[in-house]
Amino acid sequence: MDLTKKQFDILEILTEESGPVTQRQLEERTGYSLGSINKIVKDLTEQNLVADGRITANGLKVLEKYRVKRAVFIAAGFGTRLVPLTFNTPKPLVRVHGQRIIDGLLDACLAAGIDEIYIVRGYLAEQFDQLLYKYPMLKFIENPAYNEANNISSALCARYLLQGAYVFEADLLIHNPKLVKKYQYQTNYLGFFKDRTDDWCFEVKDGIIIEHKVGGLNCYQEFGISYWSPADGARLAEDIEKAYEMPGGKELYWDQVATQIFKDHYKIALRECREEDIIEIDSYKELKAIDPTYNV
């Protein structure tokens, strides 16, 4: 059966708690009115998806349709903004406070029960093999075009794995691993509200992304974490290939395919988070500010 977004949100919260959850707690967690919560819980109870503030076995079965199947990491680039460290080390493998940048995201995936994980690699590809000691389940995808095309070439290599999948930029330092959830209702991008930004951002209307651009006012700055539903992931596989073959296609960022080139094919939600949930380290200076051990 198909769930409404509100039904999904309540069921998902119930999966995160070992004990019963009150309607007042659901109101606080969702932001929905208590009257709305009461009606939804009543409907879910009548359908045997909820009982006494807990999700039932039938509820878990219904949620399986929304379970994230896998994670794909885009990790083939040069990491030029962290030179000189990246002369010898791919940016996702750079250590911050003793831990590789990518480890936080990988740990978050495993904590959410996502153990089908692919890493698209290119620059200094063999160095990613070190991850196998801690994460033996990883599978690597080679991107032979990483030095002649933008990251759309990595998405092209992984295009048949995007159905029901997270796609991660592999160089994000995550501070809130709970953002990586076991279930997702619809295709979405992660972003946080900014009064002004010069970075990639989204214009949003009624929770749906309507424009993706560089720089904006009262918009949502993009984080490189997205989820693609089974239907949208299948469509995206075709659109990535078409966009790559267009004039200038190799110069595209992979996410421009769905947010700009073929935007009419998708209805992408904005999943809001806080600015402090993730850190994008964009320069060696920023890295030194975060980790003083680099101040040498």
Confidence of residue 213 (pLDDT cuts 50, 70, 90): very high
Supply the pLDDT for residue 238: 98
Would you state the structure tokens that stand for residue 120, as one six-digit string?
């698209």
Per-residue pLDDT, 79: 82
At 14 the pLDDT is: 96
135 pLDDT band (50/70/90 cuts)?
very high
| Mean pLDDT across 69-98 | 91
* Res. 84: pLDDT tops 90: no
pLDDT at 81: 80
Mean pLDDT for 39-59 is 96
- What residues are paired with 56 via a beta bridge? none
**What pLDDT is recorded for position 154?**
98
Q: What pLDDT is attached to residue 200?
A: 96
pLDDT of res. 48? 96
pLDDT at 296 over 80: no
CB 25 within 8 A of CB 32: no
Q: Are 100 and 94 in contact (CB under 8 A)?
A: yes
Tell me the three-class secondary structure of 30-77, residue by residue.
Answer: HCCCHHHHHHHHHHHHHCCCEECCEECHHHHHHHHHHECCEEEEEECC
- Average pLDDT rounded to a whole number, residues 57-65: 97
The alpha carbon of 45 is separated from its chain's Cα centroid by a whole number of angstroms, namely 31
Give the single-character DSSP code of 17.
-
Q: What is the pLDDT of residue 23?
A: 93
Q: What is the SS3 assignment for 75-129?
A: ECCCCHHHCCHHHCCCHHHCEECCEEHHHHHHHHHHHCCCCCEEEEECCCHHHHH
Residue 30: other Cβ atoms inside 10 A: 16
Position with higher pLDDT, 228 vs 82: 228
Q: Spell out the domains of the chain, with CATH numbers in brackets.
A: 5-65 (1.10.10), 67-294 (3.90.550.10)
pLDDT tens digit string along 171-198? Answer: 999 999 999 999 999 999 999 999 999 9
Confidence of residue 18 (pLDDT cuts 50, 70, 90): confident
* Predicted confidence (pLDDT) at residue 100 exceeds the cutoff of 80: yes
pLDDT of residue 33: 94
Strands 99-100 and 95-96: antiparallel
What pLDDT is stored for residue 161 in this prediction?
Answer: 98
Using DSSP's 3-state secondary structure scheme, residue 10 falls into helix
